Structure 1
């Protein structure tokens, strides 16, 4: 036994909360004329006093209240606080005690600590026994009694087999296994003293699960029923349904919804009796509290003289199919979320106002310069809000190029949020310092990132590194943010959450860099293959980019089978969503892939190709070609040429090759190849 103070007892047991109805009576909160049982006139917004008389102030379990009109909610303390302007919790408690005429739990009373109920775990031997019994019972479903009962219920042979329904001759009961679970329930045909239902002991097979739980794992609307036969009736008539095993199963559903991501809107489909109506109202309350999408089911029970969905299947099966379709359409309206009817009306009036506002918005968003003059000129000025994907084989410097662009944009005043899933911030900073030494002292006197990292420097080099570091720091200032996720947390949701947090904290829309796509993970519970995973990642990134109007650049690896062929969409690993969702798709390749030897596939030519590629990789600088495969903001199929100096992590636009191949050496471009 544990002795608590009065305040602890109130906090722990909510003794005062049960006096909500007394306090409502004190404030003269009246039932609404037409709101139905449990609905009252709202003391704050007056809902229920208007012409319709349908109050939205609801009470649950005589302890909690919520107005579905004005959105206010709480317990007895919140009601007192809002009515009398009392913010302090202790003062609210004192006022409640004053209203009800005294503390219901006097000081010094001993109260037992609440028991902690841990759900029992299924026993392995009982699970195996249940599986055997389910199989045995189904083998006996052809018995005369079982067939007569199930046919009378309106079930087809296909439905009986789909749900593995069976027959227990000993108990004269229909057996209903839970799909995908070692669990069952029985419905006795002649209940007698044993009662109508039977189910396993919790100590044998654990607590009762949700019937047909897998229906919640798809995105189409799901009917929430009391009984299993009602859910099976919905499934036979063309819908998706679950059963809670009675009105008390709502808590089980809420636990599931809080632990799992459920995209399916719910259709509340309880029995047409007092218990079903109360359970539906209680579940609706809980779903509203958690902002979970649902609609109340409409089944015309009274018009068809039916008490539940299975009776509709028996009496008017065609009508049930029609009602399922209508309810599904209502639920689909809920799925629209932000694209509600009101927003669709706004969309219809887009030409009246929205288009001009969008023009104004985008006119205030000039393209962001990359620091490479040729690329910016070819791409209509630079980078626009959108999802950019850059792909390349290994050793071509895709990380170096993208990181250099990030540095150049940071020096130009852009806020950069760089997600590096492979290299550390230390490694990337060393690249920046090495690049700075090359630009300051010349490439022949540059100090490599490896030298800086290993501290293999002469005194003079150490001084040059210190100068380069200060120069880089002063130019980038506080605009470069590098995030190195742990290997245990590379989920795309982490990327999205970090970006949102950055915008919230710094009040800036950063240019986002992601290195690289294939290292990002989808949620584990989705169990996706490599292609599906990449599609999910690209879709989530594009969704966030679009919602926040961001400029986002992601690196993608390429298929090994395309290492000796010019780059194209087929080069991108698992590239379905990349091709369709990205606004701009860019590829890096060695310039030598344009040579005639790469137009043949004979074994002799393959050997020659490998030799040419190895020589091209060994060159200093490496000759790199950038190809634009897709561009929603300007011309497609433009190219840019680069000299890549791996020793100092530097890319420069190759003006000589550009002049030779594109005939653009007209004095327009200077020998200044990088705006750094």
Structure 2
């Protein structure tokens, strides 16, 4: 088979997930979320995949880009011919060439490819009862322990009898593949893997996807988790490893018509790998436009641990998840949630009194602020969220154009100005350009400003973009931040038109529409405020701000909760671009903030500001 045909048939994602422990999250644009390099074992997130080009790249120690052949050569230390044979064997079921057997591995049993005699040879063991499984399930799934007859079947496979004397518990998946579970009493090693595979790895109960009689399918990581659910009378698919998530997606795509009639319910393990699995499957199901109900598992590591501790409680827990899938959208269910979860929610106070009064503070929702260039869009938003961070709220600032140092420098200049005006601190202010170049005018006032800004800076997290941030990156960073800090942040996206498309084939208008929709979805999913900065169409530079002013405005008017616009106060009197440029170059610019839409209260309000450009500061009038 020609190499270009193999490249078309075999995905680099599958190669990585099979040959390494990597778990990849592929976004709609075909690119993966960055992860630590699985090749050199890095700790930083410096490895990524482009599934469209079918390549993987390490941007750190390896500093290499691989296709499926070079990656296989790198991982297994084989030549091109060896890599080709491995890929054919492992991904195209080409078994003409056999891998040498040095120890029991997933390919050991290909000599007969039928493990039924193995299962028939197993002896009974109370280990499975102790794991909470019923006799009916133990019999149905042919669970048992390795016996002398079992060892006899493997006597001609090098190392297998010794191996199976430790990994005594056999967990059949089908006649082609089974898993063995370590008996901890048989080894003194504390770091031995608990499970080993025999045969080509497959999902447990993947046939459920095609079964017309089954409506609800619980998806879990481990074999015992699936059988715990089966013991209680429900249907479950086990991935048999987080890295096998892509196998589930493949099965669903192969049986899409049947799969769309099912409700999948994911119960991931209560650990970091489980959270990554949940993240990955949510993205994949969203791409397929299919429903995935995810269940947070609290108080237990996995569902088998839940079953052992509280069988009745586990059954009620599973029944509750099915009920949520059936009735989750009913008004009654929402009413109950509203009542039980109801608590006072104070909006975040804004330091501009008039703006705070008109908006009623900052609350969950999508806020869009637009203006022409040089009117201080970023400066205005930065001042607003700096004061929010000063109150102790976390702010995630996605700066797609301006660098971190420039943003911090602008804030320090504003702080120096406030110290000088409000606290009468002596000393010449170092303005932004001089500050960035190290030309300090007065060290004392700068030092005081740094101390004053410190509290704000601790709550402000700046993500600097190099034209590579999209809505899925933003979502992932928000999830990560909440996970690490246990605190929901206010989000800033500066600015909307630079946000990358989720699909390279989208037009500019389609991109803005899709991004606005996804940003709105983020505010709902995480229950947070998000401020997006937008540019204006050039054709509207000499006219008053309106919805039509927003560049590729599309869904901004309809999807946003609040739409604001900055305009020059005397825009009505400006006749040509010369007058416009003159007004835009004034040291103190007279600005009007127009409230074009406000889902939370008053609309069509106007507030006047002085934009003091040297100090990067707005002042209400």
Normalised TM-score (structure 1): 0.52
Could you say if the C-alpha distance between residues 455 and 268 of structure 1 is closer, same or farther in structure 2, counting changes exceeding 3 Å? same
SS in 1 for 2:329: helix
Shift of 1:341: 6.6
Could you say if the C-alpha distance between residues 367 and 514 of structure 1 is closer, same or farther in structure 2, counting changes exceeding 3 Å? same
Q: Distance between the aligned counterparts of 1:398 and 1:583, measured in 2?
A: 18
Residue equivalent to 2:449? 468
Residue equivalent to 2:103? 9
User: Which of 457, 477, 493 pairs up with 1:514?
Assistant: 493
Please list, as runs of the form range in 1=range in 2, the aligned pairs for 1:216-227 lying within 5 A after superposition.
none
Q: Distance between the aligned counterparts of 2:533 and 2:179, measured in 1?
A: 55
Q: Unpaired runs of 5+ in structure 1?
A: 31-40, 98-250, 255-264, 270-281, 299-323, 599-607, 655-676
Shift of 1:330: 2.5
Could you say if the C-alpha distance between residues 66 and 492 of structure 1 is closer, same or farther in structure 2, counting changes exceeding 3 Å? farther
Q: Unpaired runs of 5+ in structure 2?
A: 1-76, 79-99, 145-153, 155-168, 213-236, 265-288, 295-321
Residue equivalent to 1:478? 458
Residue equivalent to 1:375? 355
For the pair shown, the structure with the greater C-alpha radius of gyration is 1
Q: Contact 2:494/2:533 (CA < 8 Å) preserved in 1?
A: yes
1:642 aligned onto 2:609: yes
Could you say if the C-alpha distance between residues 650 and 297 of structure 1 is closer, same or farther in structure 2, counting changes exceeding 3 Å? closer
Q: Distance between the aligned counterparts of 1:453 and 1:469, measured in 2?
A: 14
1:628 aligned onto 2:598: no
Could you say if the C-alpha distance between residues 408 and 93 of structure 1 is closer, same or farther in structure 2, counting changes exceeding 3 Å? closer
Shift of 1:85: 11
Q: Contact 1:42/1:67 (CA < 8 Å) preserved in 2?
A: no
1:511-541 deviation line (CA, Å, top 9, x unaligned): 11111111111234x5111111112222222
Q: Distance between the aligned counterparts of 1:439 and 1:456, measured in 2?
A: 20
SS in 2 for 1:513: strand
Q: Distance between the aligned counterparts of 2:253 and 2:587, measured in 1?
A: 66
Residue equivalent to 1:366? 346
User: Which of 72, 76, 79 pairs up with 2:179?
Assistant: 76
1:219-260 deviation line (CA, Å, top 9, x unaligned): xxxxxxxxxxxxxxxxxxxxxxxxxxxxxxxx9xx9xxxxxx
User: Which of 329, 335, 356 pairs up with 2:290?
Assistant: 335
Q: Distance between the aligned counterparts of 1:331 and 1:58, measured in 2?
A: 28
Q: Distance between the aligned counterparts of 2:599 and 2:326, measured in 1?
A: 26
User: Which of 319, 334, 346 pairs up with 2:328?
Assistant: 346
Residue equivalent to 1:24? 119
Residue equivalent to 2:164? none
Q: Distance between the aligned counterparts of 1:376 and 1:74, measured in 2?
A: 63
Could you say if the C-alpha distance between residues 626 and 476 of structure 1 is closer, same or farther in structure 2, counting changes exceeding 3 Å? same
Shift of 1:86: 10
SS in 1 for 2:355: helix
Residue equivalent to 2:536? 558
Please list, as runs of the form range in 1=range in 2, the aligned pairs for 1:26-425 lying within 5 A after superposition.
26-28=121-123, 46=133, 49=136, 55=140, 75-78=178-181, 81=183, 289-290=247-248, 294=252, 330=261, 335-338=290-293, 342-348=324-330, 349-350=332-333, 353-360=336-343, 363=344, 365-380=345-360, 382-425=361-404
1:533 aligned onto 2:491: no
Could you say if the C-alpha distance between residues 445 and 463 of structure 1 is closer, same or farther in structure 2, counting changes exceeding 3 Å? closer
SS in 2 for 1:573: coil
User: Which of 562, 566, 574 pairs up with 1:584?
Assistant: 562
Could you say if the C-alpha distance between residues 652 and 29 of structure 1 is closer, same or farther in structure 2, counting changes exceeding 3 Å? farther
Could you say if the C-alpha distance between residues 64 and 376 of structure 1 is closer, same or farther in structure 2, counting changes exceeding 3 Å? farther
Residue equivalent to 2:418? 439
Q: Distance between the aligned counterparts of 2:515 and 2:533, measured in 1?
A: 13
Shift of 1:480: 1.2
Could you say if the C-alpha distance between residues 47 and 587 of structure 1 is closer, same or farther in structure 2, counting changes exceeding 3 Å? farther
Could you say if the C-alpha distance between residues 584 and 93 of structure 1 is closer, same or farther in structure 2, counting changes exceeding 3 Å? closer
User: Which of 437, 445, 451 pairs up with 1:454?
Assistant: 437
Shift of 1:486: 2.9
Shift of 1:351: 5.6
Q: Contact 1:621/1:645 (CA < 8 Å) preserved in 2?
A: yes
Could you say if the C-alpha distance between residues 91 and 399 of structure 1 is closer, same or farther in structure 2, counting changes exceeding 3 Å? closer
Residue equivalent to 2:305? none
Q: Contact 2:412/2:453 (CA < 8 Å) preserved in 1?
A: yes
Q: Contact 2:119/2:172 (CA < 8 Å) preserved in 1?
A: no
Q: Contact 2:209/2:259 (CA < 8 Å) preserved in 1?
A: no
Shift of 1:371: 1.3
- Over the aligned positions, Cα root-mean-square deviation in angstroms equals 4.8
Shift of 1:290: 2.5
Q: Distance between the aligned counterparts of 2:247 and 2:142, measured in 1?
A: 14
SS in 2 for 1:470: helix
Q: Contact 1:407/1:476 (CA < 8 Å) preserved in 2?
A: yes
Normalised TM-score (structure 2): 0.56
Q: Distance between the aligned counterparts of 2:210 and 2:598, measured in 1?
A: 43
Q: Which 4+ stretches in 1 moved above 4 angstroms? A: 15-23, 26-30, 41-48, 53-59, 62-68, 80-94, 265-269, 282-289, 295-298, 331-334
Q: Contact 2:328/2:334 (CA < 8 Å) preserved in 1?
A: no
